[in-house]
Every structure is written in structure tokens, then in C-alpha cells.
């Protein structure tokens, strides 16, 4: 089982560029989410989805868009990259909400210059 | 504001020794508490999940305890190994339809030979 797969693993962007971080899971999980991890801080929720066609904002959604057209995929779009978006991004999935284990991808390290 | 605080921020121990990591939280209402291990450059991996009614849960050499009255948890690592070197993250799940996760900032553990 591949689990949760994120691509790319590393990316450098120039300020103002846009890009999409890919996330795919093969566990048929309904719940998927995106987090960013910054030094000295806990992971913070950007956007999440409770099923195909349903998305909602998390704690730090500004500058990011998501969509969930299929159960398997949950891409994160950076509309116009800013240096403040330099971070490590993690995608996670779980089969339910409360009490269910979340599985994380390997992360995407993004640098915006 | 719902928060999860971990201590110490970092810890160095010798191989074979035991150690205990602490987690205090203010999340309310609270569904469950999780401990994750995050190796450098990887995504977090679940070690334990405890509901408010559970006092202790073990996973091999890892034992987590929970005191829901004082809102404190600890992770005890027995007979440490070099492979235990990682960041350990305490995560509390809110009681909501999505079970949103509140992350601590992590404790970085280094095990030296």
C-alpha cells in the first residue's frame, strides 16, 4: 500500500508564481487535510475535506485553494506565492473524524524566494 | 484558545536510558489525545491514541498516560535506542464532526550512543 503520496518532495518558487501541491491516498479515506509545519510551531490546518465535493477552511487558509473532485485526490493550490508561505506542507487522510487515526504523507518542502 | 504545550522543547539522552515527555492541553471539549513520532524529513506517524476514559496505552517501548482531570499527558520511552531520535508530537482532537486536531510544537529527542 502506498498510503498517502505527496508530490513534489521539494519545490522552489519565485514570489508571485502559482503552483499545485499534489496529494493522493489509496486507502479510500473520506477525510483529507492539509497542514503546514513551521519551525517552533505545531502543525497548522490549512484546509480540509470530509468527502468528495466538500471542502472547508482551517486555521490558516489565506493564499491557498483546494478542491476534492475524487475521494483519492486533494490538491493544494498556491495562488500567488509569498515568502511567508515558505514551509513544509503535509497532507493527511483518515477514514473517519473523531477517534480515527490520521495518516500523513512524506511532506513537501516549499521555498519561496 | 485551545492549546497544546509540550516540554521539554528538546532532550538528549544516552542509549539504553529511559525518558519522559510531557504534554499539557487546554482543548475543550476533548475527544482524544494522540502521540506521533516524526523522523527528520518524514511525516508524523501515530504511536498511540487515547480517549478521555483511558489512563494508559502502550505501543512496544512507548507508554502514554493521560490524566483528563488535570489535562496532562506523558510519553515514556523505555530502554531508548538510536532509532528513537525524532520529534515527538502531542495532538489533541476536538469533539466536533471533523475531529480537528490541535498540535503541540513537539519535543526533539536525540539518543546518543
Q: Residue B82 CA to chain centroid, in angstroms?
A: 18
**Strand B19-25's sheet: what is its strand order?**
B4-7, B19-25, B72-77, B62-67, B56-59
Q: Is A99 a residue whose pLDDT tops 80?
A: no
Question: Using the beta-carbon criterion (under 8 Å), do B97 and A97 form an inter-chain contact?
Answer: yes
User: Searching chain B, which residue's CA lies closest to the CA of residue A38?
Assistant: B105
Taking the Cβ of residue B53 and every Cβ of chain A, the question of whether any pair is shorter than 8 Å is answered with: no
Helix (H/G/I), strand (E/B), else coil: B56: strand
Cβ neighbours for B6, distance < 8 A, ≥ 6 positions apart: B21, B22, B23, B24, B88, B89, B90, B104, B105, B106, B107
Q: What percent of chain B has pLDDT over 70?
A: 96
Question: Using the beta-carbon criterion (under 8 Å), do A42 and B31 form an inter-chain contact?
Answer: no
Nearest to A90 among B4, B31, B43 (CB): B43
What mean pLDDT comes out for the span A48-64?
Answer: 94
* Cβ contacts of B31 on chain A, cutoff 8 Å: 98-99
Cα torsion through A43, A78, A12, A87, rounded to 10: -10
What mean pLDDT comes out for the span B48-67?
Answer: 94
What is the Cα–Cα distance from B81 to B94, expressed in whole angstroms? 33
Question: Using the beta-carbon criterion (under 8 Å), do B46 and A102 form an inter-chain contact?
Answer: yes
- The DSSP code sequence of A47-99 is EEEEETTEEEE-SS-TTEEE--SSSSB--EEESS--GGG-EEEEEEEESSSTT
Taking the Cβ of residue A27 and every Cβ of chain B, the question of whether any pair is shorter than 8 Å is answered with: no
pLDDT at A98: 58
What mean pLDDT comes out for the span B54-71?
Answer: 95
CA distance B15 to chain A (A): 26
Amino acid at each position: 500500500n502506498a498510503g498517502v503520496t505527496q508530490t513534489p518532495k521539494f519545490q522552489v518558487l519565485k514570489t508571485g508564481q502559482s503552483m499545485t501541491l499534489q496529494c493522493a491516498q489509496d486507502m479510500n479515506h473520506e477525510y483529507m487535510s492539509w497542514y503546514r509545519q513551521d519551525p517552533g510551531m505545531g502543525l497548522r490546518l490549512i484546509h480540509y475535506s470530509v468527502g468528495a465535493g466538500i471542502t472547508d477552511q482551517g486555521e490558516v487558509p489565506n493564499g491557498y485553494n483546494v478542491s476534492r473532485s475524487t475521494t483519492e485526490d486533494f490538491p493544494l493550490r498556491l495562488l500567488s506565492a509569498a515568502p511567508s508561505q515558505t514551509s513544509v506542507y503535509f497532507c493527511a487522510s483518515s477514514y473517519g473524524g473523531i477517534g480515527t487515526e490520521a495518516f500523513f504523507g512524506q511532506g513537501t518542502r516549499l521555498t519561496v524566494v | 484558545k485551545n492549546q497544546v504545550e509540550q516540554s521539554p522543547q528538546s532532550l538528549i539522552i544516552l542509549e539504553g536510558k529511559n525518558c519522559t515527555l510531557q504534554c499539557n492541553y487546554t482543548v475543550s471539549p476533548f475527544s482524544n489525545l494522540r502521540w506521533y513520532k516524526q523522523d527528520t524529513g518524514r511525516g508524523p506517524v501515530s504511536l498511540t491514541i487515547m480517549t478521555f476514559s483511558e489512563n494508559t496505552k502502550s505501543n512496544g517501548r512507548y507508554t502514554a498516560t493521560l490524566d483528563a482531570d488535570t489535562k496532562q499527558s506523558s510519553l515514556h520511552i523505555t530502554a531508548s535506542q538510536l532509532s528513537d531520535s525524532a520529534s515527538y508530537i502531542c495532538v489533541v482532537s476536538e469533539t466536533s464532526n471533523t475531529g480537528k486536531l490541535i498540535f503541540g510544537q513537539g519535543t526533539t529527542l536525540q539518543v546518543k550512543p
